Structure 1
């Protein structure tokens, strides 16, 4: 066979092999890209267990949700991820009788419905309620109807993170890079205008943290259901908090009712240099910072929820649950606020 003919045959074989390799690589990459796109853009509006569909969200402008290895550690739900960055979160923990001896299903569900009503009145300006829960909460019967009826509510199943104590689940948004503002609250306590005024004062500042103490018994640096953090102001500290919460050998020491011990030991040393504290009784306590008076006067004791953090139902009987607040804890321009 002439050399020219052999060269032509070899050339044809080489081109065929090269084309086959290119085709295989293209098909593989296309399938991978399609798989990623499908995972990210599957109908995130409907959980597999739900017959209802949630409202469409604006298209994402961030690629944070595309890194599944990264997002898995702070993942709440697919819908929550599709909300994108700059989320404003109020978070609560909801867990069952194994970890919570006080748990009563109907009572907890009533608390949750009341909290959602509060959200719609007090935090209607772009805040989302995240509910971190265990498998006590049935997806089909509870999660689906509540999420589909309330576009500002996301349920976050913690079944894959049960090593984290339940009362600390609600702290997880502090380490979430999709979150701009987070506030940890109690399921059984009302969200009030008095609280919102204090939160507004904090958000108008350049301080990373917020804490409230509104009762003579609120004698700790930070209460588990009355603090907030702005991850957007300190991304490095947000990552530190995330790592602390997810470090099994550390977090196991803060089970049960030790969520406030976790805050005192692990968060307060970082927080106290950049925090606004509103304190109506213990403003002279030696926690290492100078508290401020609440910007609004306390509601009448004839009204319900006369102090922040009280368990429903509270107050409303005309009998003060405590005495006058100290003069040093009253606003300088309102010394007459004996119940401040």
Structure 2
């Protein structure tokens, strides 16, 4: 029987021919795409790069060694840690001929593989010096092994007080912005903190603000990022963070993602004239190329954030990552104090936090971890909810809570 219409041999042959042609074109386009990306990898805007954590050496021939080095500006001798191998001479001359840091000379003498937290300020007033003293103390407690860089203008008025901090804290480096470049001296001071990005001697960097408090919650999240294969790190921990592509503004990354690309981003950021342009440059230059390389700790809007993961530690009542430090007292009595203890200048809100959880802190892998904070908090749930709502913190969506702690209403 001779079939006609759609069931004829001619129609069936045409359908098979169209389907086979479509499959061949799809296969050819995919093959061509991978060939182009292999020849020109810069064409891929959503590729996934791997930034694994540094391996832990089992022998004693590769470690961090303390070295006594004189400070070029302040004249004091500081005990700093330098990465050392058995084949290297442990002396300042060992770094001759290597790439210089963007915080020269303080950053260059430390050698490669540095962990650096970067902040910036236009100039250091007595009030900002007190805040800086509190910040470096918190870095010593929460970020063991990290160096705090301060990009600022150094003048003869602030130099004596600044040198007292530099000599007392070996992990504090002051970067004179006037010595970096002529362009960097004209941009908005908020962009100076990007000077650490693309530094050839830095392995992991974190951008922070001087007026932001450093909390254990911040350190826990950053530690999880360092131990992952991700290359970029963002944090969103408050409803106000959802309006910005930078979230809380606390950004971190690994130089292994690409030194040349990071250097280009830094140079573009240092050309900005306003704070708003910093976020715009990040949206235009960084967001399109990081793709799946980002880890975002998000407690409220995880369903819209790329690479969202829950925070590893529970939120303390009324606190969030990136919260501002309450105004420190500016009385002459406090300005003349040496501030040997961080609690001497600690704001009341954080002083209560330090006293309350001081007995529950345990040092693990260089970071202070609050043990069983979720089970041992003295604050009842009603008081916790009242404090959080007073600070504008809503309950965490169930999808944003850690899988092992679905009962954390305020994660």
TM category (shorter chain) comes to 0.7 to 0.9
Aligned equivalents of 1:277, 1:168: Cα separation in 2: 22
Match of 1:115 among 135, 141, 157: 135
Aligned equivalents of 2:234, 2:228: Cα separation in 1: 13
Shift of 1:78: 1.6
Shift of 1:139: 5.5
SS at match of 2:115: strand
Q: Equivalent residue for 2:108? A: 81
Q: Root-mean-square deviation (CA), in Å?
A: 2.7
SS at match of 1:80: coil
Aligned equivalents of 2:75, 2:226: Cα separation in 1: 39
- TM-score w.r.t. structure 1 length? 0.72
Contact 1:93 1:167 survives alignment (8 Å) = yes
Contact 1:197 1:296 survives alignment (8 Å) = yes
Shift of 1:82: 0.9
Aligned equivalents of 2:240, 2:290: Cα separation in 1: 21
Contact 1:281 1:325 survives alignment (8 Å) = yes
SS at match of 1:239: helix
Shift of 1:135: 3.5
Aligned length: 274
Query: Alpha carbons of 1:222 and 1:164: their partners in 2 closer, same or farther (altered >3 Å)?
Result: same
Aligned equivalents of 2:217, 2:399: Cα separation in 1: 19
Contact 1:122 1:193 survives alignment (8 Å) = yes
Q: Equivalent residue for 1:36? A: none
Show CA shifts across 1:42-87 (max 9, x none): x962334x353333665369976525xx63xx53132320100000
Contact 1:184 1:224 survives alignment (8 Å) = no
Structure 1 unaligned segments of length 5 or more: list them. 1-42, 97-103
Shift of 1:294: 0.6
- TM-score w.r.t. structure 2 length? 0.61
Match of 1:299 among 301, 305, 316: 316
Aligned equivalents of 2:302, 2:156: Cα separation in 1: 40
Q: Equivalent residue for 1:55? A: 79
SS at match of 1:188: coil
Aligned equivalents of 1:44, 1:204: Cα separation in 2: 31
Query: Alpha carbons of 1:277 and 1:166: their partners in 2 closer, same or farther (altered >3 Å)?
Result: same
Aligned equivalents of 1:217, 1:90: Cα separation in 2: 23
Query: Alpha carbons of 1:326 and 1:216: their partners in 2 closer, same or farther (altered >3 Å)?
Result: same
Q: Equivalent residue for 1:221? A: 245
Aligned equivalents of 2:220, 2:300: Cα separation in 1: 18
Q: Equivalent residue for 2:387? A: 319
